[in-house]
Amino acid sequence: MKLTNTIKKMTMALLVAGATLLPVHGAVPTPQSTEERTQNAIRKELLTMPFLTIFDNLSYRVDGSTVHLYGQVIRPTLQSQAAARVARLEGITHVENHIEVLPLSPFDDRLRVAVARAVYGQPAMNRYALGANPSIRIIVKNGNVTLEGVVDNTMSRNIANIQANGVSGVFSVTNNLRVSR
């Protein structure tokens, strides 16, 4: 009985204390603008597409109610699926699809895997492979490699470039990795 009374008193004290607490400055979420909601919705639709891999790169630009899609994919279905997913969003009236479907090539497929192993296999870089959506994208077209995405620092950017350049059969590497800070 004594334990039950103690629990009741503690619960009441917490309820009273919680009712009198004022929100800390900046802790109250600010309402998102329509543009921010649209940007977040587009980003979510593109990143949650099934069969999207580290060998695909998608980006977009919003002009009012028109969305321009850019990038490269290895599966033609991803190109049409991206446009369809964005077109069904609220407030989007038109989608311009500029996504390039990369040519089918066993040579490029081999290079994709080899570059991914070289980049993500480097101990300093394997943290970028974690999670459902790795931050480094590896685009291979006709033996030419392009690295896209975001890394934490310049050293990671340079290591990825060196690792990709070290893969046998790669003709050139374009390093478009951005440093987040």
H or E element at residue 62: strand 57-63
pLDDT at position 9: 46
Q: SS3 for 174? A: strand
Question: In the predicted model, is pLDDT for residue 113 greater than 80?
Answer: yes
pLDDT at position 102: 97
The residue that leads in pLDDT, 21 or 121, is 121
Question: In the predicted model, is pLDDT for residue 181 greater than 60?
Answer: yes
Hey, what domains does the chain have and what are their CATH numbers?
34-101 (3.30.70.1350), 106-179 (3.30.1340.30)
- Cβ-contact 138, 119 below 8 angstroms: yes
Q: Tens digits of per-residue pLDDT, 41-75?
A: 999 999 999 999 999 999 999 998 999 999 999 99
Question: In the predicted model, is pLDDT for residue 129 greater than 50?
Answer: yes
pTM for the full model? 0.78
- Torsion of Cα atoms, 107 then 111 then 113 then 118, to 10°: 160
Q: Tens digits of per-residue pLDDT, 75-108?
A: 999 999 999 999 999 989 999 999 999 999 999 9
Distances (CA, A) of 78 to 44, 81, 82, 134: 15, 5, 6, 18
Confidence at 132, pLDDT banded by 50, 70, 90: confident
